[in-house]
Amino acid sequence: MSKRNGTVAVVTAALLLTTGCSSPGGSASGDAGAPLVIGASVSLTGDFSDSGKAVQRGYQLWADTVNAAGGILGRAVQLKIVDDASSPTQVVTNYQNLINKDRVDLTFGPFSTLLTIPASQVAKRYGYAFLAPAGGGPKMFEQNLDNYFFVQPAPTVQSGDVFVNYVLSLPADRRPKTAAYAELDDPFAAPLAENVRQKLEAAGVRTVYKQVYPSETMDLSPMMGAIAALRPDAIIAGTQNEDAYSQVKSLVQLKFSPSVLFQSNGANSPMEFPDKVGAGNTEGILSPADWFPGSKAPGSADFTAAYIKKYGGTAQSIDDSSAEAYAVGQVISAVAARTNKIDNKTIISSLHAGSWPTLLGTLSWSANGAPSGEFNLVQWQKGKLLPVFPASVAQASPEAPKPAWGG
């Protein structure tokens, strides 16, 4: 009957076995010559895995580029990327493991965005700087973490500001008079659209319709039908991906083409969007972007060339998530170059001051990690996604009003 104690035996053995290998005292960082190990947890499986992989490619590309040039302060960069399966418990375990088990020197942020807050708090507990290519929702900055830096030009909610500025730059008689708002209920899309709505209302654009829809809504036709019936001049949509495609498809079916159509996400995806809605239906649609093919920002040309060399495709096929991840690495390189040191304390204290050039433009951060720049406005013109506003980056002038569908 001794086997009956198997349960206890197994559990005890497992515990003892694992405690055995957990004796503290891994290699402390700082030795010149030793590799600089950087850990990140990315969603390689689960709901967010495609963008997760794009982030992984961006990190890897940066590490390759740096290593080809002799590493950071003579130390070769070594990435340790683990999978969080898009789960908030796994992401906590993963950063614990990276920091306390594998004793990585630095941590980079995760993808998906919904996992950034729990992950950044683990990093904060152990004094790690946390640079994240995604996770710029308002709640993130409310955490007031001094180790957090969101590596995009502006908090996600403000990425619609460039569109507002564009509308206000138009002469009064060419501005839209009425607008309808369709907002996806997620941490980014709805607040972004709300931000645009408040600013446009203040500028005298009348709101004729406003609706928030949940993310599992597969069928957006009822809502788009209600909007089409009101025939607003502008439709401003806070979207992610597939809902953006569904909106356009519904509008095409309803044969209603507003003179201004702005979608906060999805429409800025250079490959997927024309594939999903039909290339003829993209003309004139507006969207915000940080990086775009042909950008003149520092390092952008090198990044594009290296990306195509390593992963194939064309500049048009690069996901902005890869560019944003690459920018995280650029910031780290820049800190090392300016301070001649690379450790978490230096990174945190350096990044709260000064401005830092990246392929997303020049970045700077406030105390809670919110960046203070601005996005660019891109528009579909003849099958290509081109920056049209502000004038400093524009490669074409904005096309207005948006032509009818299938043009």
Between 232 and 387, CB nearer to other proteins:
232
Q: How many CB atoms lie within 10 A of CB 3?
A: 6
340 near other proteins, rule: CB under 8 A: no
7 near other proteins, rule: CB under 8 A: yes
Sign of CA dihedral 193, 196, 198, 200: negative
Backbone angles phi, psi at 186, to 5 degrees: -145, 175
**Of 13-21, 27-35, 201-209, 392-400, which part binds other proteins (CB under 8 A)?**
13-21
Out of 101, 174, 345, 382, which residue is the one contacting other proteins (CB under 8 A)? 101
* Buried-exposed string 151-162: b where 16+ CB fall within 10 A, e elsewhere: bbbbbbbbbbbb
Size of the site for other proteins (CB under 8 A): 85
Are 330 and 62 contacting, i.e. CB atoms less than 8 angstroms apart? Answer: yes
295 near other proteins, rule: CB under 8 A: no
Q: Per the structure block, which two tokens stand in for 217? A: 């809504």
236 near other proteins, rule: CB under 8 A: no
Out of 72, 114, 167, 318, which residue is the one contacting other proteins (CB under 8 A)? 114
Out of 35, 71, 118, 401, which residue is the one contacting other proteins (CB under 8 A)? 118
Out of 179, 252, 336, 342, which residue is the one contacting other proteins (CB under 8 A)? 252
Q: List the interface residues with other proteins, window 41-100 (CB under 8 A).
A: 44-47, 49-50, 81-85, 87-90, 92-94, 96-97, 99-100
Q: List the interface residues with other proteins, window 346-385 (CB under 8 A).
A: none
185 near other proteins, rule: CB under 8 A: yes
128 near other proteins, rule: CB under 8 A: no
How many angstroms separate the CA atoms of 228 and 238, rounded? 17
How many angstroms separate the CA atoms of 154 and 108, rounded? 19
**Of 8-16, 69-77, 299-307, 379-387, which part binds other proteins (CB under 8 A)?**
8-16
Query: If DSSP codes are grouped into helix, strand and coil, which group holds residue 359?
Result: strand
CB of 126 to other proteins, least distance (A): 6
CB of 289 to other proteins, least distance (A): 19
How many angstroms separate the CA atoms of 145 and 125, rounded? 10
Out of 34, 76, 78, 138, which residue is the one contacting other proteins (CB under 8 A)? 138
Are 59 and 67 contacting, i.e. CB atoms less than 8 angstroms apart? Answer: no
404 near other proteins, rule: CB under 8 A: no
Spatial strand order in the sheet of 178-184: 206-213, 178-184, 234-238, 260-263, 286-289, 376-381, 384-389
Are 157 and 137 contacting, i.e. CB atoms less than 8 angstroms apart? Answer: yes
**Of 231-239, 248-256, 353-361, 383-391, which part binds other proteins (CB under 8 A)?**
248-256
**Of 199-207, 270-278, 282-290, 373-381, which part binds other proteins (CB under 8 A)?**
270-278
Between 245 and 375, CB nearer to other proteins:
245
Are 267 and 244 contacting, i.e. CB atoms less than 8 angstroms apart? Answer: yes
Which residues make Cβ contacts (< 8 Å) with residue 58, sequence separation at least 6? 133, 321, 322, 323, 324, 325, 326, 327, 328, 329
CB of 302 to other proteins, least distance (A): 26
CB of 299 to other proteins, least distance (A): 27
28 near other proteins, rule: CB under 8 A: no
Are 378 and 268 contacting, i.e. CB atoms less than 8 angstroms apart? Answer: yes
Between 85 and 327, CB nearer to other proteins:
85
